[in-house]
Structure 1
């Protein structure tokens, strides 16, 4: 069996740019996995993906021409079915014939022919016929065909299109094809040999096509699999590798910015970089500019229109301010690029003019004058209009502000909450929904509302994504909390819960946003309390949603509060647990803390730090195990066990010693706990290891005397409560 490297390429019309990277990765990964599964590729085989606007390809090393034969051991039929009067039955003969070994039936009971053998073996229940032999390894062409079919089938295609095949490339039986884009060529090379495979109505060959305008040759003939990338670059003017093309764009962007000078830099945007990489086959970065008068428009507007509509890279100065120059990644490299530069400058100018027009028009009306219009915008058919939603957010914001500050904070939060959504009615946000909040901040400053209100309006959507900044001031925090809590409670109230990977209302992101604000800003707010505030604000709206069946049984706001805390609160704690594990805390540590359902989330990081410090103590393992044992004893106890101890009933020295030790250490441990010094509190309790061990060695808890038994259970209950205030230490037991 010979071994060589394999190259497979599908040549197609322009692929969806936002999906290209995933398409290329999926095509190459599935191809390699299938080759390995069939024994044609080994664990040492390496795949190199290729993906350009008009091709998907993969280069796989160390691919065999024939997969090794494999030992076959297959159960056929029970002996009672396969044998009659000492002779093979028709049922056994058919099964053997299916495996291409029908002659073994005639040889029974001496059914052995080379590596093939028919024998009887008990399968654990009955005696059955088994076939042992060698399964012929798949050939290269068959194996590549299977792998190619599977790779095409499993492509994460955003949308399939149907098209007619060209007459000269049709295979018998093919007339139309369903694929992401029309395919026009197929390459399959094992070394320099063409592999006989077909796909999408195409037969494999050794030629492809290069750049539409700059290829040296119309048809690029490939010498062998290993020369694919180099030949395509030289003769076809195409950088086939997505990663190499992306790196070249990054290099050229940096070089062009350096040439402009003044410390400018291209804006960082990974998604834009991936999309532009998917739009060009051989990148050529050019410097363009627009009139400086457009810089009077908020830079977020100009940046967004250049990135979203034109796929340009705006240039920022050293202070992060937009300049009037931008970079274009062209797909052609003419000797004189002035026409390309001029064309792009002409194209962007109307876009910037539109942004300026929207900005000027929007400032003719105040945000306050737009409040009434929110009542005409539907938010959700079961939750009313944006105006009704705004009133709910206002109520939540005022209640939270009352807990965090004075009347001034309450008034500021109320103003910001009332105006936060008004920019949804502006022309700029209507054109660019991504600017909601940001434009509200600009218009608030223009209306003379002050920086605090402007920042709060701008920030109330934060954090918009993982790792995003939190609101900059307390007013913004209050409104952001209110906005997200209203969304969570409203959507949970009408049953719009996330399912699987579907979360159309971004409830997971909203939950993490609330958690981050409560924890990172160390806000003195209880989770149950803020959910209760939101439930009260939403109660009337939800009760009016008559078509939500499970709400019909909710009689009052208290019942709704319990329902919301049970569903939404649990959902948020799950998000918190996942976030903490991502931060490096172990599942045991997280469960130990969160199992107590701490209402004040700002305390959770300190509790986790304390648990981690406790685990490092030499007494930790024994105390955790004892704690688990105590918990099990208390669960099995009859009736309710109270944490009360009658010192007169302490008969055994070990129980007297444990009671004394607990009585001695608990006051300081409780004081430290009350002061939030959780690690120190647990450290004080560590001295209980010796008396706890002695207690279990020398004391029978379930004594026959009921009074003694109750007293000892009360001592264990007292110990259990003292040890499990910071975390449930039993969760740390091995």
Structure 2
């Protein structure tokens, strides 16, 4: 009988890249199990547990067979006409194919004939022997290592001094245990055993001799001083951070990427409390937080108001009885970093933002789009026009001033050292220069939203500058043909587009997209590529994605998109109106009728105007529809004009009966040209009235 036991595979290596460790651990376990399943050694029910620490990748797979079960196979050989001569004897082609699959002419009488497409084909049926775990795991290991998401491999020499291999880091040990038995496999010049290494300084035993696959995590933790599971280590780190912060009445800064990176740097976390001199708190907290996180991997501590304190947490990889030297060392290390930040801040404030503007003319923005100074001028012109639309001359003037100063902090020492602080430092320096708070906010916010879920600019001035900045970027790069394609979007234009859409919709801005695209391209020289149509289509595609992501039905989004609202801020209200309309019993019949009307009008040889002559109505049904339209259309139009899109659509419900009667009793394409034109005009009026809020034909059941 086949033997089912749990499997443990570990690759012991030199320190792995911390930012990649989590993905490497998950990929190693997933790919290993995937290959084992494909070979019949593990089933869908087999549980996979990944392990990843700074010096190891490992996987535990439950219910793994010692040998895969035999399986029936059917090998297609070739068409009967090719494989057998007229007298039924095998052709040379068939004999050659049989030899290739390990058979000979003796199997010919037993070959199965089966219809394959239009012709009969020959199939060799038999039983394939199940693979052994040793052979299957060998293949699975090779497959798993080949599939690891390693951006860059390194080549290193093996112990024999002659041969070399490629891997993310040099590997020094391999464990493969099926239950308590070693599986004889090898990879990267290493033969599998049952020994692994623990913590460099705190292991109770070295090496750690594993009893079996199921004791791996416990033995490493108890004897090796290592928490091998990434998730377990992450949880322990978070627990200690929160506990240490709570003792001080503070909270650690929330940063999942930093948590993951530190989890990948330590084998067993030990959180310690440190502090720095309070005078450094005079520096903007964003600078201090960034230097502590980015350079030192520390966790700054915030008070209840979210303000930075002079205390921070460090994560040590050792647990000395007296931690004072570790704490003192970290406090000494952070001091020069904070001093640098203070020096940059003090130096930068010796010059005003306005005095730096001329320097932007010496900074190249893009070879085809000129200098940063020219870019600022374009953004300034666009921002002034948007500001005028948002709040008149006062906002236009503020937007123009903020746009002119928004990029000046790129020439400061602080932003030179920490590019992530661009905009933020501009806001601080603007306040130091005595500028209005609205201007400072606008400078700080003009990059927003910088990522999905980021906050939007806080005031109209900031919205004007942020919109202008994104529009200038989009128009500039589309004009020179730098358009995103596939996965390639080097200038993050999709992110810029999404930010633009979010501001228009979530801030309910009274701006028309066509006008925004027009003024953006108008800010460039006449020789610049005029790609308004391409940019508008790109933005529309991003809008569809944004609305779908917000949970709106595809059908509803298509209906509203097709109506082409000039102001994208209307989309949420229009979509809500469509949802309410769909709940009416009249919605489906009216949507179907609208689709029919659209098709009739499309087939007309001449463009049909929404005009009718009452004297030409012959059938009672067409007169009834005209009367109903005369009663309903003004109510619907009035609600539409007032922004009551739900009311506008629901007023149309009264048209169901006359519309149904019209199509039952009236021949639209009458032989009399005047009658035909009049009836088409009536349908055009109906079509116009029905499609103000959304193209209702998109709601028709297909």
What RMSD, in angstroms, separates the aligned Cα atoms of the two structures?
1.4
Q: Report the more deviating stretch, 531-540 or 691-700.
A: 691-700
What is the deviation of 1:399?
A: 1.2
Give the alignment partner of residue 158 of structure 1, picking from 138, 142, 151: 151
Which consecutive aligned stretches of 4+ in structure 1 deviate over 4 angstroms post-superposition? none
**1:487: Cα distance to partner?**
0.6
In 1: Cα distance, 2:405 partner to 2:553 partner: 43
Residue in structure 1 matching 2:549, options 582, 588, 609 = 582
- Cα separation, partners in 2 of 1:288 and 1:637, compared to 1, 3 Å: same
- On the 8 A contact 2:391/2:460 being kept in 1, the answer is no
Matched-pair contact (CA < 8 Å) for 1:462–1:469? yes
Q: Does structure 1 residue 709 correspond to structure 2 residue 676? A: yes
Q: Mark the CA change 1:495 to 1:294 in structure 2 (over 3 Å): closer, same or farther.
A: same
Give 1:24 shift. Answer: 1.2
**Structure 2 spans left out of the alignment, 5+ residues:** none
3-state SS of the aligned residue for 2:58?
Answer: strand
Following superposition, the deviation at residue 211 of structure 1 comes to 0.9
Instruction: Give the stretch that moved more between structures: 142-151 or 320-329.
Output: 142-151
Q: Secondary structure at the residue paired with 2:524?
A: helix
Aligned position for 2:140: 147
Q: Following superposition of structure 1 onto structure 2, how do residues 455-474 of structure 1 map, counting pairs within 5 Å? A: 455-474=441-460
Q: Which residue of 2 aligns with 1:122?
A: 115
Q: Distance in 2 between matches of 1:352 and 1:121?
A: 79
Is the aligned partner of 1:285 residue 2:271?
A: yes
Report deviation, 1:108. 4.0
Q: Distance in 2 between matches of 1:411 and 1:662?
A: 48
The one of 639, 643, 648 aligned to 2:615: 648
Matched, 1:80 2:81: yes
Q: Tell me, in whole angstroms, the C-alpha distance in 1 between the residues paired with 2:33 and 2:589.
A: 50
| Partner residue, 1:114 | none
Shift of the 127–291 alpha-carbon distance from structure 1 to 2, 3 Å rule, reads same
Which deviations, in whole Å up to 9, do the C-alpha atoms of 1:481-505 show, x marking residues without a partner? 1111111110111111122222221
Q: Is 2:330 aligned against 1:329? A: no
Q: Secondary structure at the match of 2:68?
A: coil
- Which stretch of the first structure deviates more once superposed, 648-657 or 229-238? 648-657
Aligned match of 2:18: 17
| TM-score between the two structures when normalised by the length of structure 2 | 0.97
Match of 2:337 among 351, 354, 374: 351
Residues 355-379 of structure 1: per-residue CA shift (max 9 Å, x gap): 0111111111111111110111111
Cα deviation, residue 641, structure 1: 1.9
For residues 236 and 649 of structure 1, the distance between their equivalents in structure 2, rounded to whole angstroms, comes to 96
- SS of alignment partner, residue 51 of structure 2: strand
Give the number of aligned pairs. 699
1:430 deviates by 0.5
**Correspondences of 1:660-699 after superposition (within 5 Å):** 660-699=627-666
Instruction: Give the corresponding residue for 2:431.
Output: 445
CA shift, 1:727, in A, is 0.8
Task: Name whichever of 584-593 and 649-658 sits farther off.
Answer: 649-658
In structure 2, which of residues 89, 92, 106 is the aligned counterpart of residue 90 of structure 1? Answer: 92
Alpha-carbon deviations, 1:260-284, whole Å to 9, x = none?
2xx3110000110010001001000
SS of 1:256's partner is helix
Query: 1:691 Cα deviation (Å)?
Result: 1.8
CA distance in 1, matches of 2:250, 2:336: 24
Contact 1:73 / 1:133 at 8 angstroms: preserved in 2? yes
Confirm or deny: 8 A CA contact 1:19 1:158 kept in the other structure.
Answer: no
Aligned to 1:215: 203
How far apart, CA to CA, are the structure 2 residues paired with 1:569 and 1:729? 23
Q: Distance in 2 between matches of 1:176 and 1:701?
A: 82
Residue 648 (structure 1) shift = 2.4
| 1:667-716, Cα deviation, whole Å (9 max, x unpaired) | 00011011111011100001211222222222222223332222222222
- For the 8 Å contact 2:352–2:433, the answer to whether it is kept is yes
- What is aligned with 2:4? 3
Calculate the TM-score normalised by the size of structure 1. 0.93
Partner residue in 1 for 2:173? 185
What is the deviation of 1:313? Answer: 0.2
Matched, 1:527 2:513: yes
1:633-673 deviation line (CA, Å, top 9, x unaligned)? 22222222222222222222222222221121010001101
Give the 3 Å change call, closer, same or farther, for CA 412–107 of structure 1 in structure 2. closer
Question: What residue in structure 1 maps to residue 192 of structure 2?
Answer: 204
Does residue 371 (structure 1) correspond to residue 357 (structure 2)? The answer is yes
Secondary structure in structure 2 of the residue aligned to 1:129: strand
- Measured in 2, the distance between the counterparts of 1:304 and 1:333 equals 27
Secondary structure, counterpart of 1:58 in structure 2:
strand
Distance 1:285 1:151 in 2: 34
Q: Deviations 1:106-128 (Å, cap 9, x if unpaired)?
A: 3543x2xxxxxx12223232222
Match of 1:554 in 2: none
Partners of 2:210 and 2:216 within 8 A in 1: yes
Out of 153, 157, 176, the residue aligned to residue 164 of structure 2 is 176
Q: How does 1:584-663 map to 2 (within 5 A)?
A: 584-663=551-630
**C-alpha contact 1:197 1:203 (8 A) present in aligned 2:** yes
Structure 1 unaligned segments of length 5 or more: list them: 112-117, 544-550, 552-559
* Mapping 1:145-544, distance limit 5 Å: 145-167=138-160, 175-260=163-248, 263-540=249-526, 543=528
- 2: distance between equivalents of 1:675 and 1:657? 28
CA deviations on 1:278-318 (whole Å, 9 max, x unpaired) are: 10010000000111111111111110000000000000111
User: Alignment partner of 1:356: what SS?
Assistant: helix
Q: Which residue number in structure 2 is paired with residue 547 of structure 1?
A: none
Task: Give the equivalent residue in structure 2 for 1:700.
Answer: 667
Residue pair 1:88, 1:106 contacting (<8 A) in 2 also: no
In structure 1, distance between residues paired with 2:647 and 2:179: 68
Could you say which residue in structure 2 is the equivalent of 1:555? none
2:106 maps to what in 1? 106
What are the superposed Cα offsets for residues 60-83 of structure 1, whole Å, 9 maximum, x if unpaired? 112222222232223211222211
Cα deviation 1:328-385 (Å, max 9, x = unaligned): 0111111111110011001000000100111111111111111110111111111111
CA distance in 1, matches of 2:690, 2:130: 63
Contact map agreement 2:301 2:312 (CA 8 A) in 1: yes
